[in-house]
């Protein structure tokens, strides 16, 4: 095997490992953002439900 071929194979392996790591981080960040959005939506719904319940009980 030539030295250039070995470096090419090693380069491909390193590129795959780095890509795998970056995609993992990207999906973690995206999952966190989606979770934040879901929490915000649920919090707004709960806020309005609680506001409606407590405003009804005062009347």
pLDDT band at 44 (very low <50, low <70, confident <90, very high): very high
The larger pLDDT score, comparing residue 48 to residue 2, is at 48
0.75 exceeded by the pTM?
A: no
Report residue 1 CA to chain centroid gap.
42
Q: What is the DSSP string of the chain?
A: --HHHHHHHHHHHHHHHHHHHHHHHHHHHHHHHHHHHHHHHHHHHHHHHHHHHHHHHH-
Q: Where are the domains of the chain?
A: 1-59
Q: What is the pLDDT of residues 5-43, one digit of tens each?
A: 899 999 999 999 999 999 999 999 999 999 999 999 999
How far apart are alpha carbons 36 and 24 in whole angstroms? 18
pLDDT band at 4 (very low <50, low <70, confident <90, very high): confident
């Amino acid at each position: 095997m030539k030295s250039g071929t070995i470096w090419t194979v090693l380069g491909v392996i390193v590129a795959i490992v780095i890509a795998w790591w970056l995609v993992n981080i990207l999906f973690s960040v995206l999952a966190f953002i989606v979770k934040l959005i879901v929490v915000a939506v649920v919090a707004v719904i709960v806020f309005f439900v609680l506001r409606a319940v407590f405003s009804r009980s005062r009347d």
